[in-house]
Amino acid sequence: MGRRSRSVLERTILSLRDRGVLVSLAIAAEEVVGTLVHGRRTGGTVPVERLDGDPEHHALETVRFRTLRRTLAAIPDDCCHGFLDLGCGHGRVLVAASSAGFSPVIGVELSARVAARARRATVPHAVEVVDGDAADYEIPSLVTAIYMGNPFGETTLHRVLDQVDASQARRPRPMAIAYANPVDVAVVEARGFRAVWVDPDSVVLRRDP
């Protein structure tokens, strides 16, 4: 089960407690700059009630630009081509991935309403947003990096990894998974992915064909 979404105030208090004033100020400054560069409309949490109410689908929480920048930079160079965000929310990760040079950049979002906002928020970036369930999405052969912000539970994750297996079998290539709030990382590792970068908030794993 994923952690519940936290308000901005809660996250600020936790940051002050865990990181201290100076680091928290640096994080806040990077958040302001990131918002100016990438647009404020890509942020915001999405409660599970706005998805479908299924406990298997988790509320989506906006990732901090600091964490996102570090995570994208940790994706191995040979996996920095096509990018897929499963549970893309309002599109913050998509915009950052496009700005970092990934292409193509695709987001899959369960809520049609949230997906529509992501399409508006990611203009003019070369980003595609797909309405649908990540477990049913056939992963294109150009995708080499997948991002997940813990948008679903273990049952759905197994089905998503089945899609990863099928895609990699159709076109053998190295693939990376960038996993934020990685509560079910053991499930990913059991499929042969190994961690290449670990952070308190996220992990990047890769699997060679």
DSSP category for residue 147:
E
CB-based burial, 149-158: b 16+ in 10 Å, e otherwise: bbbbbeebbe
Largest Cα–Cα distance in the chain?
50
Give me the architecture of the 1-209 domain, per CATH: 3-Layer(aba) Sandwich (3.40)
Q: How far apart are CA 200 and CA 178, in angstroms?
A: 13
The model carries a pTM of 0.78
Domain spans in the chain, listed from the N-terminal domain onward: 1-209
Tokens (6 digits) for 3? 């952690």
Could you read off the pLDDT tens digit of each residue along the chain, which spans 209 residues?
334 444 444 555 555 566 566 655 555 555 555 555 555 554 555 554 555 555 566 556 667 778 888 999 999 999 999 999 999 988 999 999 999 999 999 999 988 998 999 999 888 888 999 999 999 999 999 999 999 988 889 999 999 999 999 999 999 999 999 999 899 999 999 999 999 999 988 999 999 99
